[in-house]
Chain A
Amino acid sequence: MAHFKSGLAGLLRWSWFVLLVFLAFSYLVAGLSTTSGVADRQPIIDSPDPIAADSASGSGDTSVSSESAQADSFEEAVAKVDQAWLASIQTKELTPAPVADWLTICRRMSLALVGNGLSLEEIRQLEQLPEEQREDAHLDTLLNDSRHHHYWGERWARFLVGTDEGQFVLYRRRRFRIWLADVFAQNWRYDEIVRNLITAEGLWTDSPEVNFLSATFDSNDGQPDPVRLAARTSRAFLGLRIDCLQCHDDFLGNVSLGDTQSPRDGRQTDFHQLAAFFTSAKTSGLQGVQDGKPDYQYKYLDAEEETDVQPAVPYSPELLPEEGRPRVRLAKWITHPENRQAARAAVSHVWALMYGRSAVDSVDNLPLDESTTPVLESLTDDFVENKFDLRRLVRLITRSAAFRVDSRADFEVTPKHERLGAVFPLVRLRPEQMAGAIIQSSRIKSIDRESSLLVQLQKFGGTNDFIKRYGDVGEDEFNSESVTITQRLVMLNGNMLKESVDYNPVLNASSHIEMFSKDNSHAVDTVYLCVLNRHPTDAEQEHFVHRIEEAKNRASAIEDLFWVLLNSTELAWNH
């Protein structure tokens, strides 16, 4: 009996232990709040108009007459953007370069939307279509490609929460990134994304958008940090750098706020009043972030004592709803159709993602009282008119003459041509784009979710190793740094390049081309398409065919050609 009692007590103790472990595990893995994920969540404020997956205009109405009207409207929008671009160039007495060839334009799209160049498989498929249809067809494919959703998920995550992994228990960057990928896959409107981020509630585990807030927990004792959130919100959603106002009024004339028509110098109060909105976000145990009352005291520079800071916006206060929960009011204000500054910030960011560099000095620094560029302003008009439709914006950019212009010309190209976009500017590929370009070029087929697990794992592991050695630019997305010695060494002698070009009859394109190309001329042409996404010039063709012919080992000569092209400036720069 005593044995039985002792056993029972032991069992109970272990049961408690197992239960506790289970609860802790559940908390860590799934969370305990009741909010749901992307697929079934309800909009927080307004009813979001569903955006049809791929209509040119982004409207859900797909009747024939409606489609025709939308197409006309889209063409008109393209014409307006092009007009603005051409006028801005001609004003400076420059002549634009001609339109680039379709392969070059498609490579630009691929680099921007999936982070690598085209695969040979994609090129061959597009070649089946009439030339005038290829660019649109490629864009259609990319926008619905999970590679695009995940690539943009990562790039937007960098913009919104940075690259630090933070405290694992309180912050799940990976979940946040996947939530963003889902949002892009489902073609959410931009304003809806912003509202969900600003007003996020629940646990960061099962309401991944909450990680926008919990990313700042580490600097505010487990609570959302209003100061960091104000800085991030201002930069990401308003395109304003007001960080210096955290400590003092602007005395250099760098920050203009207040009235958009007649702005004044920024004040310390502007920053902290914006921060005050986020003091309504409180962490509440297992319920995660919940809404409460704003509660913010701050001692301003030279003040004798702390004052209560009430939430207020840094400009256009007339657009701020008077009633409602603080963060909901802020979200409505940011996404108000008349808040042009916020729309410009969104367009500026998407433009930089597509183009590879910011249209102005910095993607998140668009002075309130200055226009950006004629192209950006024209795109902003269309973005607001079309209910913040991100895919339409992407389409509009890729169809614009500014995006399609060649990067070389038969006249002397000057830095001014590059600066004003009269030629497409050369932009260095980001480290993950380099990794993606190398890995994709070494495979005949596109590497995507349909690829074998081995290939996907190779890409994942190879990319991580490559970036670790090559250097990650962090969240500083559009800072085109100069190339480093380390980076060149990685390309000249690194492991990834060796594995990508060496003889591997199962996986590597170099081996496949050696085995299956009908002649050396075809082999050279195919290597160029795989790596640089273009055909070789006659001189290049002749030179490398000769190289292969004179080589003792044909496979080695083809590997050498792969290596040479992978080490070229042309691969490393978007053009």
Chain B
Amino acid sequence: MNNLISHQLCNRQRHLSRRTLLGAGTGSILMSSLARKLAWADETGRTDPAKPKSVILLWMQGGPSQLETFDPHSGSKFGGEVKSIDTSIKGLQIAETLPRVAEQMHLTSLVRSVTGKEGDHERAIYNVKTGFRPDPTLIHPSIGAALCQASDAGADIPRHISISPLNFPGRGGYLGAAYDAFKINDPAGPVPDVRKRVDDDRFEQRISDLTNVVERQFARGRLKDLNRTKTLHTTATDAALQMMSSEQLSAFDVSEEPKKVRDQFGDNPFGRGCLAAARLIEVGARCIEVTLGGWDSHVNNHGLQSSACESLDPGLAALLQRLKERDLLDSTLVVCGGEFGRTPQTNPAGGRDHWPHGFSTLLAGCGIRRGVVHGETAEKPKLDSEKPLDDVKDPVTVADIHSTILKAIDLPFSEELDTPVGRPMKRSEGTPIESILA
């Protein structure tokens, strides 16, 4: 099984010939079915009900403070300067810095009791993105990689995409680099490396010489059907050419959206990333990760958290709204969270430090119940370093969050996969949080 997987590319169209693929972009008559879906969605505002499940991960890198976002204790000893506001869920309050998100909370479930064992950024990011703690023996796949490996459904363009990924984009891990996220920066700019560097005629001649002269010569005296059985070099070239000529590339281009829509998402890289994520899901991408940094507030906690929330608030709220409007929220899971939370206590520099003992993750769509809150952190924590979980009601682990996500997108969370060395490895070692699953 693994051998087969390792020779697959993360693209469902990989068996098409180069000629067919090149031809795909030549006219609307050859438009792919997914491109047609996009056009249909634009016209009707709705999408195919049989659409496979997808994930948008809004990754808050640096460690957002639960107290300044989704779990404020304003007025308490550790509450800090932020105030709480009511939300669309009766009795639930979140930080005043997220007013638009507050209006959309009825679409979501909020887990306020996530606990981890990693307090270092790099290790904790690995932990939250894969569901496993770092292990020197292998690299675990991220959610997007697991999703793409499990199902071929998707788009002409890469199905696993990381927008503004900073240093830690989603990886294929032991499933293979073919499932690594395709990385792009701020969607305001062009998608990298998809534009030819020479004119069409010259490019075509280059490809022709490569395929018909050099590759043929190299294949002589070697394995039969060298490309298919070993190198996949030509196959990958074909897939790249297909992407270069795909109409779906325009899904990355948020400038095609009306200014009003762009403003709703926020005129900043994160807002554009959220808008691009929605567009990419609409054309069939399966997992989009959008990163927002700036949460690591060891100094000036209130200022930094508030500043990051200014980007998060419109991006997240508009994303939920758009998915709902386009009937995509039932097939798209939105997850918003970071690698850990921040300490209840503030340090002398007015900052909060790393805190994996009770932080928040928001989930919405795709089989997640609406308007539910799971767990809570104590308003007056005892802060016993020996028993940090005493301050958390109904604690769940990072692995539990992963199991929940996997269950929501219909992946058997406890299924064992074989690593390349034959070691059986569960997709997740956690337990789904049933209280938030429909």
Contact = CB atoms under 8 A, between A and B. Distances in A.
A218 interface: yes
Contacts of A573: 231, 233
Contact of A231 (B136, B193, B196): B136
Contacts of B421: 241, 361-362, 365
Interface in B224-259: 224, 226-227, 229-234, 236-237, 239-241, 243-244
B278 to A, nearest CB: 22
Given A243-B136, A560-B206, A570 B177 contact: no
Contacts of B399: none
B243 A485 contact: yes
A130 interface: no
A244 B135 CA distance: 11
B370 interface: no
B193 A469 contact: yes
B202 A488 contact: no
B123 A540 contact: no
A569 B213 contact: no
A426 B231 contact: yes
A162 B158 CA distance: 29
B178 A481 contact: yes
Interface string B257-277: 000000000000000000000
Given A493-B196, A568-B215, A485 B123 contact: no
Given A488-B237, A567-B210, A568-B210, A408 B221 contact: yes
Interface residues of A, number: 63
A241 B135 CA distance: 13
A522 interface: no
B195 A488 contact: no
Interface in B181-235: 182-183, 192-197, 202, 205-206, 209-210, 213-215, 217-218, 220-224, 226-227, 229-234
Contacts of A428: 231
Contacts of B232: 482-483
Interface string A203-228: 00000000000000011000000001
B180 interface: yes
Interface string A323-356: 0000000000000000000000000000000000
A488 B239 contact: yes
A547 B205 CA distance: 10
B9 interface: yes
A407 interface: yes
Given A471-B177, A488-B240, A494-B193, A569 B206 contact: no
A565 interface: yes
A407 B222 contact: yes
Contact of B182 (A235, A485, A561, A567): A485
A492 B193 contact: yes
Given A243-B135, A547-B209, A481 B223 contact: no
B420 interface: yes
A241 B138 CA distance: 11
Given A485-B240, A564-B209, A412 B224 contact: yes
Nearest to B210: A564
Q: Interface centre among B10, B232, B233, B239, by most A CB within 10 Å?
A: B233
A540 B206 contact: no
A413 interface: yes
Contacts of B195: 493
A452 interface: no
A418 B229 CA distance: 12
B7 interface: yes
B197 A560 contact: no
B229 A415 contact: yes
B214 A228 contact: no
Q: Interface centre among B158, B205, B221, B423, by most A CB within 10 Å?
A: B221
Given A494-B193, A564-B214, A482 B224 contact: no
A530 interface: no
Interface in A473-503: 473-474, 476, 479, 481-490, 492-494, 498
A474 B139 contact: yes
B8 interface: yes
Nearest to B169: A471
A358 to B, nearest CB: 11
A572 B423 CA distance: 30
B410 interface: no
B204 to A, nearest CB: 11
Contacts of A162: 136
Contacts of B120: 218-219
A79 interface: no
A556 B222 CA distance: 32
Interface in A222-272: 228, 231-232, 235, 241, 243-244
B6 interface: yes
Contact of A568 (B197, B202, B218, B244): B218
A426 B236 contact: no
Interface in A279-322: none
Nearest to A472: B177
Given A483-B232, A568-B210, A489 B243 contact: yes
Q: Interface centre among B220, B230, B234, by most A CB within 10 Å?
A: B230
B340 to A, nearest CB: 15
Given A218-B120, A414-B223, A484 B180 contact: yes
Interface string B63-75: 0000000000000
A84 interface: no
Q: Interface centre among B6, B197, B205, by most A CB within 10 Å?
A: B197
Interface string B9-31: 11100000000000000000000
A172 to B, nearest CB: 16
A494 B192 CA distance: 8
Q: Interface centre among B9, B11, B231, by most A CB within 10 Å?
A: B231
Contact of B236 (A410, A488, A544): A488
Given A232-B136, A408-B220, A493-B195, A569 B239 contact: no
A434 to B, nearest CB: 12
Q: Interface centre among B213, B215, B420, by most A CB within 10 Å?
A: B213
B178 A426 contact: no
B415 interface: no
A539 interface: yes
B137 interface: yes
A476 B10 CA distance: 21
Contact of A218 (B6, B8, B123, B236): B123
Contact of B223 (A362, A415, A540, A565): A415
Contacts of B418: none
A543 B220 contact: no
11 contacts: A228-B136, A241-B137, A243-B137, A418-B223, A479-B420, A482-B232, A488-B239, A564-B213, A565-B214, A568-B215, A569-B234
Interface of B: 6-11, 120, 122-123, 135-137, 139, 158, 176-178, 180, 182-183, 192-197, 202, 205-206, 209-210, 213-215, 217-218, 220-224, 226-227, 229-234, 236-237, 239-241, 243-244, 420-421, 423
The 8 A-B residue pairs with the shortest CB-CB distance, nearest first, are A408-B221, A488-B240, A481-B177, A489-B193, A569-B233, A483-B236, A493-B193, A570-B218
Interface of A: 162, 164, 218-219, 228, 231-232, 235, 241, 243-244, 361-362, 365, 407-410, 412-415, 418, 426, 428, 469, 471, 473-474, 476, 479, 481-490, 492-494, 498, 537, 539-540, 543-544, 547, 556, 560-561, 563-565, 567-570, 572-573
Given A482-B6, A560-B209, 9 more contacts: A413-B221, A415-B223, A426-B222, A426-B230, A469-B192, A482-B177, A483-B232, A485-B11, A489-B240
